[in-house]
Structure 1
Amino acid sequence: MAFNLDNIPKNQNSKNAPVASLESILKKEITFFNKPFSNKKKEAFYTELSVLLNAGITLKNALTLIGEEQRKNVDKVLIENIIKNIVVGKSLSEALRLARVFTEYEYYSLKIGEETGSLQKVTAELGLFYRRKNEQRRNILNALSYPIIVMITALFAVIFMLQFVVPMFVGIFKQNRVDLPWLTKVIVAASEGFQHNFGSIVFLVITLFVLRFFIAKKIWYKKYASILLLKIPYIGELTRKIYIAQFTQATALLVGAKVPLLSCIQLTKKMIDFYPLQHALSTIEKDIIKGKELSESLANYPIFDRKMISLLKVAEQTNQNEYIFERLTRQYNEDIQHQSKLLSTVLEPLIIVFLGALVGVILIAMYLPMFKLSTVIG
């Protein structure tokens, strides 16, 4: 029988859930105030806890050892509070839930592990889950860090030229009454427009950032932002695979713990904050209640691969759901790693060529009248 999740209070960690955009995939764990127990820390926490429990160490002593390793005082206090709750009789899952920095997915996974006597296995799987999640994030950061730095540097160079260099040339042209080519007129018009509206542009950018902060949780924003993101060539497909990989990995862990399929869908839907996937899982949840097969329901949504649906159909017939979900997870993670490297390889030269051409056009536009001016002076 499936768990009843309708009355579960929302985890406070969901307040910091990412917006469906590529920036959110890159910056998900980066906060400047009250930094939560990050995915990197969770990977180390569950991995070490699994090793210690497998070594025969009691849960309290294992948590004590982990707490002593923490460098930051806030993390030490977090582990100490978990230990105190366990000492007064609460389970590990309940203690983590009270800490308010762990997800419902972790809570139910650990609860199932405690009830079935497989806590060591569940903690190991959670460590693996966060390790793969962190690897996905590192791959994207490695792929985009250099192109982003180059783009920002070039953007400031173009702004500097429009704000200071072009006006200097314009003053020379006006003094000598030089007829300007059409290309120069376009650049001069862009420079003048930029200077006159510089304050408005800065205000608009700041307003957009502040506005997005307030509307980030709105359903309509998540919907249209995710649709726009998925339509971006290559990046949209990479983003889709990242979230599908999280779905297959989370489902594999729950299916391996003998959680009913309906509960798996409910938990993963609450965990993965990506509108197209959440919307699809909401309908799939209703289909499963009506008696439909998972593969049949997935086929109605383009976010799921046809190959994935075919494999799940076979898994349902052979009762190999856990194996298929684990295989799909490995496949998606390999694809993500490959596409991330390819993205970096493709983006770097494209950005350099584009920005180099942009700076070159500005310089050519400024020097064309200089040739006329030298001819007149000669």
Structure 2
Amino acid sequence: MAFQLENIQAKEHQKSQRSFDIDSVLKKEITLFGSAFNNKKKEAFYVELNVLLQAGLTLKDALQLMMHEQKKANDKKLFQDLQDEIVSGKNFSEAIKKQKVFTDYEFHSIEIGERTGTLDSVFSELGAFYLRKNQQRRTIVGALSYPIIVMITAFAAIAFMLKFVVPMFENIFKQNNTELPALTKAIIAASAAFERYFLLGFLFLIGLLVFFRISRKKVWYKKMVSAFWLRIPFVGEFIRKVRIAQFTQAINLLTSAKVPLLNGIQLTKKMIDYYPLQVGLEKVEKDILLGKSFHESIEDIPIFDKKMSSLIKVAEETNQNETIFKRITEQYNQEIEYKSKMISSTIEPIIVLVLGAIVAIVLIAMYLPMFKLSTVIS
């Protein structure tokens, strides 16, 4: 059965309060007690559902079996609620629609699986989707964790020197009436400014974070932030490829579930909260409605590269959309892994050199007058 465009538009108004937001999902995963049904749990959830359905179990029995495996009370309750909805006669898609931990993307995918009789295949694709998403997340965290730790440690060391070490040397210089070099005077002035404005700077930083948190859903904010990151060498290209990989993963899943391309673009546009991609997909949607092919629609959109346009052209000509999109996703995931390692290996020495140079300048500035003082004493 075809998935009608008007059905999506009608449901979009009813579920405007449940629109998919990747940032909110990622933040929900970071909880103090780990009670959220995060992407890692979703991966296991869909993979196990696919295995149990293929083994001949009914959906109700599969959920009951999986419920007994859960250790957290919230997860047990989630499985029990899903099971109760199915026992009451509702479809599985209607059951997960009531649970806030599931997205519109999952709801529509499962609804399509129920309509087309390919529910086990949809579960398999959803499991693969969250597997790749978790791999991307681990790759990004692995690439950035060490540089961030080094940066935080180095800034803490610099702050400690400005707060405690430099004032101690300053007192020694004052007691001996030592003539200070310009570099030493500049470091002492920086230490005094740090002491004077530390609290104010800290409050400003907190206010800035709160402002960003409040503004993160504003269009101007999304446009500004995305443009800023895209201009940074290596990092901008890396972010672009991550978002494109998410797009191709979503389209691959939806085409596997026999969703028409236009409907898939509409769903993906709601799913991926990335301004340049959403603007691009808006244009693609309009072009397709005017009769253009998919590969023609993305040719002039900067976020999509020429290689992707060429492969999609082949997919349209050979009617192999599912195979081609799967291949594109694999290629982008390989590029993301390679670029994450390259960024990590590039950032680490730069951070070490820059912060090491700052520490060295502070130490040299403090010891220059000491050398002069020891010469006078001698």
Question: What TM-score does the superposition give when structure 1 sets the normalisation length?
Answer: 0.94
Q: Which residue number corresponds to residue 178 of structure 1? A: 178
Q: Which residue number corresponds to residue 164 of structure 1? A: 164
| DSSP-derived class of the 1:18 partner | helix
User: How far apart, in 1, do the equivalents of 2:34 and 2:286 lie?
Assistant: 38
Change in 2 beyond 3 A, CA 1:118/1:32: same
Do the aligned residues in 2 keep the contact of 1:11 with 1:104 (CA within 8 Å)? no
Listed one character per residue, the Cα deviations across residues 88-144 of structure 1 (whole Å, up to 9, x for unaligned) are 111111111111211111111111111111111110000000000000000111111
Change in 2 beyond 3 A, CA 1:16/1:328: closer
Q: How does 1:213-362 map to 2 (within 5 A)?
A: 213-362=213-362
User: How far apart, in 2, do the equivalents of 1:284 and 1:132 lie?
Assistant: 25
Do the aligned residues in 1 keep the contact of 2:21 with 2:273 (CA within 8 Å)? no
What residue identity is the alignment partner of 2:79? Answer: I
User: How far apart, in 1, do the equivalents of 2:356 and 2:332 lie?
Assistant: 35
User: How far apart, in 2, do the equivalents of 1:13 and 1:268 lie?
Assistant: 15
| DSSP-derived class of the 1:300 partner | coil
User: How far apart, in 1, do the equivalents of 2:194 and 2:91 lie?
Assistant: 61
Q: Which residue number corresponds to residue 120 of structure 2? A: 120
User: How far apart, in 2, do the equivalents of 1:16 and 1:169 lie?
Assistant: 52
Question: What is the Cα deviation at residue 15 of structure 1?
Answer: 7.6
Q: Which runs of 5+ in 1 are unaligned?
A: none
Question: What is the Cα deviation at residue 349 of structure 1?
Answer: 2.2
User: How far apart, in 1, do the equivalents of 2:36 and 2:266 lie?
Assistant: 24
Q: Does 1:147 align with 2:150?
A: no
Do the aligned residues in 1 keep the contact of 2:252 with 2:322 (CA within 8 Å)? yes
Do the aligned residues in 2 keep the contact of 1:12 with 1:101 (CA within 8 Å)? no
Do the aligned residues in 1 keep the contact of 2:144 with 2:344 (CA within 8 Å)? yes
User: How far apart, in 1, do the equivalents of 2:195 and 2:170 lie?
Assistant: 13
| DSSP-derived class of the 2:23 partner | coil
User: How far apart, in 2, do the equivalents of 1:28 and 1:324 lie?
Assistant: 33
Change in 2 beyond 3 A, CA 1:32/1:223: farther
User: How far apart, in 2, do the equivalents of 1:13 and 1:233 lie?
Assistant: 35
Do the aligned residues in 1 keep the contact of 2:173 with 2:369 (CA within 8 Å)? yes
Question: What is the Cα deviation at residue 32 of structure 1?
Answer: 4.2
Q: Which residue number corresponds to residue 111 of structure 1? A: 111
Q: Does 1:200 align with 2:200?
A: yes
User: How far apart, in 2, do the equivalents of 1:208 and 1:180 lie?
Assistant: 37
Q: Does 1:368 align with 2:372?
A: no
Question: What is the Cα deviation at residue 345 of structure 1?
Answer: 2.1
Question: What is the Cα deviation at residue 11 of structure 1?
Answer: 6.5
Question: What is the Cα deviation at residue 168 of structure 1?
Answer: 1.1
User: How far apart, in 2, do the equivalents of 1:229 and 1:243 lie?
Assistant: 13
Change in 2 beyond 3 A, CA 1:236/1:13: farther
Q: Does 1:18 align with 2:28?
A: no
| DSSP-derived class of the 1:302 partner | coil
| DSSP-derived class of the 2:98 partner | helix
Question: What is the Cα deviation at residue 329 of structure 1?
Answer: 0.3
Listed one character per residue, the Cα deviations across residues 203-223 of structure 1 (whole Å, up to 9, x for unaligned) are 001111111221111111111
Question: What is the Cα deviation at residue 175 of structure 1?
Answer: 2.0
Q: Which residue number corresponds to residue 88 of structure 2? A: 88
Q: How does 1:72-87 map to 2 (within 5 A)?
A: 72-87=72-87
What residue identity is the alignment partner of 1:93? Answer: S
What residue identity is the alignment partner of 1:314? Answer: V
Change in 2 beyond 3 A, CA 1:11/1:330: farther
Listed one character per residue, the Cα deviations across residues 312-367 of structure 1 (whole Å, up to 9, x for unaligned) are 11221221211111110000011111111222222222222222111111101110
| DSSP-derived class of the 1:322 partner | helix
| DSSP-derived class of the 2:351 partner | helix
| DSSP-derived class of the 1:208 partner | helix
What residue identity is the alignment partner of 1:273? Answer: D
Change in 2 beyond 3 A, CA 1:13/1:181: farther
User: How far apart, in 1, do the equivalents of 2:155 and 2:35 lie?
Assistant: 31
Do the aligned residues in 2 keep the contact of 1:13 with 1:102 (CA within 8 Å)? no
Percent identity for Structure 1 against Structure 2? 57
Listed one character per residue, the Cα deviations across residues 45-77 of structure 1 (whole Å, up to 9, x for unaligned) are 000000000000110000111111111111110
Q: Which residue number corresponds to residue 3 of structure 1? A: 5
User: How far apart, in 2, do the equivalents of 1:329 and 1:276 lie?
Assistant: 19
Question: What TM-score does the superposition give when structure 2 sets the normalisation length?
Answer: 0.94
User: How far apart, in 1, do the equivalents of 2:17 and 2:40 lie?
Assistant: 19
Instruction: Identify the range of structure 1 (339-348 vs 367-376) with the bigger mean alpha-carbon deviation.
Output: 339-348
User: How far apart, in 1, do the equivalents of 2:15 and 2:39 lie?
Assistant: 19
Q: Which runs of 5+ in 2 are unaligned?
A: none
Do the aligned residues in 1 keep the contact of 2:147 with 2:344 (CA within 8 Å)? yes
Q: Does 1:66 align with 2:66?
A: yes
| DSSP-derived class of the 2:5 partner | coil
Do the aligned residues in 1 keep the contact of 2:158 with 2:359 (CA within 8 Å)? yes
Listed one character per residue, the Cα deviations across residues 149-198 of structure 1 (whole Å, up to 9, x for unaligned) are 11111111100111111111111112222222121122112111111101
User: How far apart, in 1, do the equivalents of 2:299 and 2:291 lie?
Assistant: 15
How many residues are treated as equivalent by the alignment? 373
User: How far apart, in 2, do the equivalents of 1:181 and 1:140 lie?
Assistant: 45
User: How far apart, in 2, do the equivalents of 1:206 and 1:182 lie?
Assistant: 34
Question: What is the Cα deviation at residue 306 of structure 1?
Answer: 0.8
Question: What is the Cα deviation at residue 282 of structure 1?
Answer: 1.4
Do the aligned residues in 1 keep the contact of 2:20 with 2:103 (CA within 8 Å)? no
